[in-house]
Amino acid sequence: MKKLALIAATVGTTLGIFLGSALSQEPLRPMSSEELSECCQIDLLGWDELIWGIPDRPDLGAGGDRQALLAAIDNSLQYLDSQKAVEDYQKYDAVEGITRDRVRRSLERFRELLLAASGPSGLQAAVRREFIWYRSVGYDGRGTVAFTGYFEPTYAASRVPTEEYRYPLYGLPPDLADWPKPHPTRSDLEGEDGTGRNSPLKGSEIVWLRDRLESFLVHIQGSARLQLADGTVMTVNYVGNTDYSYTSIGTELVKDGKMRLEDVTLPSLIEYFQQHPAELNDYLPRNSRFIFFQETDGSPAMGFIKVPVTPERSIATDKSLMPPGALAAIYTQIPYANQRGELEERWASRYVLDHDAGGAITGPGRVDIFMGTGSIAGDRAGIMNATGQLYYLLLKE
């Protein structure tokens, strides 16, 4: 979806910016069998969680999480057979020996093993026997990766502007490639109050939202499901952007002493601007990067590789460094509801597919996990801010 990047955009990217990125010619380093045996994190919670999911999640249904993994694998295989994959891998040379053909064969074999496995132990043995594990060097050169979450929001919207619905999302300008640089800034395109009253984009609006911060968050997430007044649902997805780097408003608030870094979450940012609405005029324009959208006729949120993203099975990484569509494994803390219904972070091991990218996700030490659609997914993505490890699995040559 645009990426879609990015609660990292408003929130978790603050962590990535402050930690920085490791400088390394090769962002992934192959692990020896001895190193993998010593790398206890992958085994801490058991391989059954990697495949069959977390036992106390009845919302998944029997085998639901395993089916989600299979669906994500199939989406990657669809991509790897596409012309886009051919073009993407012609440009990908970050890690020697990782090619489109090897990534595709690795996924095909892993899928066979997954379908044949009667339980996690047999799969574990087969994967260790047939695959090489590559570990990300992380932002510190020692494998530490910063993880955040992103989601597809659901907001009320209108196809026509009204007094209530005043904040537009815009379609892609047909002449964007010919715009002189530097491009117009966010302020130039949407005006000081965000309504675009005198915007040069006037006439290319596709929908209007009733809350300025919600409109901004759609830019951050890169897609949305919009509930229209007539009861229908409109879906929009990223289609292009202006030529600016992403600036985190969470980082800006920390720099100005308005918030502490450890307190920056999506809920805290929303609460802050609810209490200080006039400051939207100051902070939102600091992110000059502007996103354009297209209506997608109800299709699911799409990732950078143009396939649907799967909750908790799709990740976003820096595609100049990490292999598009590849099979990966992560170990980090992910928010889940406890018995009281409160969100708390738990250590989790997951097989994932590298489906997405984003302006805020740069370097070998940043990963964004797609958490799903709607308010619950947003709550979970909004508080996710943890470190962990990232691995890629490729068949031995």
> What's the pLDDT tens digit per position in 306-359?
999 999 999 999 999 999 999 999 989 999 888 888 999 988 888 999 999 987
Strand order in the sheet with 233-241: 167-170, 205-209, 154-158, 223-228, 233-241, 291-295
**DSSP string spanning 274-332?**
HH-GGGHHHHGGG----EEEEE-TTPPPB-TTSSB--TTTEEE--TTTS-TT-EEEEEE
pTM recorded for the entire structure: 0.84
pLDDT over threshold 80, residue 381: yes
**pLDDT per residue over 49-108, tens digit each?**
554 444 444 343 344 578 889 999 999 999 999 999 999 999 999 999 999 999 999 999
Strand, helix or coil at 72?
helix
pLDDT of residue 26: 87
Nearest Cα neighbor of 349 from 9, 101, 46 is 46
CB-CB contact of 269 with 11 (8 Å): yes
Q: What are phi and psi of 356, to 5 degrees?
A: -140, 175
Is residue 253 left, alpha or beta, with left meaning phi > 0 and alpha meaning psi from -120 to 50?
A: alpha
Residues in the chain, total: 397
Measured between alpha carbons, how far is residue 40 from residues 46, 196, 331, 354 in Å? 10, 53, 10, 23
> Is there a contact between 249 and 212 (Cβ–Cβ < 8 Å)?
no
Q: In order of start, what are the domains of the chain with their CATH numbers?
A: 7-150+308-395 (2.40.40.10), 151-241+253-295 (2.40.240.50)
